[in-house]
A and B are shown apart, each in its own frame.
Chain A
Amino acid sequence: LSLPTPPARLPYVPQVSPMALLGKVTATTFALERPRGVFDSHADASDAVWLVVAFANASAAFRNPPSRADVPPYKQLPTARSYMTLETPAAAYSCSAPGPPVLRVGSDTACRDQGRQDPCNGPLPSPGPYRVKFLLMGCGGPKAETRWSEPILLRTAASPSTIDPAPARRGSAVVVITSILASLGAVLATAVLGALGAEVWGSLCHRDLGTDAFLRRSYRTHHIPPALPRPLPPGCRCSPPGLCHSAPQPPAPC
């Protein structure tokens, strides 16, 4: 029984897609750059490329499965610390093959829930970190493998109770409005109280308030007819007007 030839080591390093995608790393998924033309020199038409996903601290201990029947499934990830998924025909990774520029690991929630036996691209159960590599499998076992990727750490979401909703600083507008309005209100209240108090004080002391009132409510003027000058009595002859040369009569009012 001859030992199978060890798989060829390809220099390609898998990495998270360098494109500007907001969702390329979430809490349970990540998006890898699609390898193009990496396996062309080693792949036949019937070969398949698998993605090996392992916890970063378990990647060194991973052993390639000798055949397709020994491929570790998705649901053994917590115990076996690795699994293989995304079985794709090698032709899909050739230079000219069409397809999306990223491979999303963890996008299939249905196979997780229904527990199918097929290679399952289920969501990752913990933030990791994980390392991945591609493995080209033929009928006789693994034929080529890429290098392990750098550790990929998924997002951890914080609790919303850590959000502090208090404003950073007290707004100055509130202080301005409050202080100005409060002082205006105080002045008005003082003025009203002062005016009412002065009136009450005045009515208690029976002081005549009419002396400094500038407004008479009703202009009741007593109509005094102007005095008419009386006619001169006939006995008084005044040569310059107003001067009477008096006759021997008793003076009569001129």
Chain B
Amino acid sequence: TNLQQRRREGPAAALLWQKPRSAAQQRHSVTAILSKMAGADGDDSLYPIAVLIDELRNEDVQLRLNSIKKLSTIALALGVERTRTELLPFLTDTIYDEDEVLLALAEQLGNFTMLVGGPEYVHCLLPPLESLATVEETVVRDKAVESLRKISQEHSPVDLEVHFEPLVKRLASGDWFTSRTSACGLFSVCYPRVSSTVKAEIRQHFRTLCSDDTPMVRRAAASKLGEFAKVLELDYVKSDIISLFTALASDEQDSVRLLAVEACVSIATLLPQEDLETLVMPTLRQAAEDKSWRVRYMVADKFSELQKAVGPEITKNDLVPAFQNLLKDCEAEVRAAAANKVKEFCENLPEDSREQIIMTHILPCVKELVSDTNQHVKSALASVIMGLSTILGKDNTIEHLLPLFLAQLKDECPEVRLNIISNLDCVNEVIGIRQLSQSLLPAIVELAEDAKWRVRLAIIEYMPLLAGQLGVEFFDEKLNTLCMAWLIDHVYAIREAATCNLMKLVEKFGAEWAQNTIVPKVLGMANDPNYLHRMTTLFCINALSEACGQDITTKQMLPVVLKMSNDQVANVRFNVAKSLQKIGPVLDSNALQTEVKPVLEKLATDTDMDVKYFAQEAISVLALA
């Protein structure tokens, strides 16, 4: 009765009403349980378990937590019967603890079916989970609901009606909002497997919660509406769900209305095409024009799903104008969400009228967005706009999209330019990149010199791709200098990426190209007064030697590396050792023995311990000892 009373009041209240247990009392209760569990015959094998159980009561949260996490061990040791008769009541009784412990407990109980004796006894787990499902803390409650959903599948249909469904009902009519919120997530798991009378009750409970007094519960119900609709018979979807959907979609709180938009997708998928117009569309139209931007944002965000759910006809008649409005919305958030969907929306338009719809309805809006005042809108658009070229084909792309790409390539915001450049491959397939090259170059140059190193880094990563598409001549003429300039960037990450970039370029354009264009410049840096630049030479050699092959490595790179072994900066010297180790395998054995070995041996006697170390390492790896 004490427990029932506590359950009624909820755990938080129980905690506060509860008298603190004195240490002696606590010890007493634990030993009582221990002696009970360990048995009067002094069963020593249970001692470790007794310790774990003792720790369930420890003052230190961490110890309690550890013990809870080993709950399955305890249960396994006790056996199914004692787990049912002793451990579970004990847990149910000590449930008023730190949220962290409760979370662990809620999770554990979801995997407890076998430990209480299999599906036949799974209902024993319901009382503690029921209490956990009423806790104030959201994560605990959610975890308890998750576990309840899991074990509901392990109930037999009879047990589901005898044990599980009454629990759902109790939660659904709880005093405090937490239990009603939890109930919302449980209807759909038991509905398909109960008798029709119980089904009717469940529907009734769900209806009640959809018009609950507190917005928290209505939100929970709205977020489960789609899921619940899926398990209902079609007739009830039409008679029950639609009215609930309509009501929630016109709730006084926008936080409820926006969740109804999510449900709209599932509901529309369930209904036959001919019912959509009357049952769903009025609500959807209203949501797309809601006075709260949050709701409109949600519509924009779910637009592709909605489009698929309502089918081509309604898309043509309703969604196209709605999408146009969202693209022109007064809030940047909404416009950005809609801009993100432009490509997907166009792709999914019915083929017979796709081009016409895009050209007459969507493209004008897109044109406006290109010069939007908000950079996030432009950036969202830039990340998808290139995809339109494959849909519209070569001529339309050149005539209509190209000017937009060019405009975005000149945008003041680097993210916009970057998004365009990173999607160049889509355009390349349709019209070839050369159409863009005139504007591409200034954009790339500007990004290459952007003040933000992350922007520079991003553009470097697209270099190999661009090089491949633009061809070697264009590259040499326009981009080569950039690639070399990055090697002396003041940010290490850029220099590193630039080195890696060179390697990829050489892989693309071949060793001969490298020998003529890159290698001389890289080697030239070996005489730079800045030791960081001298080290970059070494890093480049590390990266390039393999791609350039033995000839270039031995004849051009090796002498430079060897010369640098006399550098006055120790960092350069030990990097010489590392480089020699790296390029060693590319060299022939003659060069190794006559040129590399003496230098490494000299470095191995260096005054600096790091130089010594790396020289010795190189000697042993190259087997020169």
User: Do A and B share a complex?
Assistant: no
Using CB atoms and an 8 Å cutoff, list the residues of chain A in contact with chain B: none
Using CB atoms and an 8 Å cutoff, list the residues of chain B in contact with chain A: none
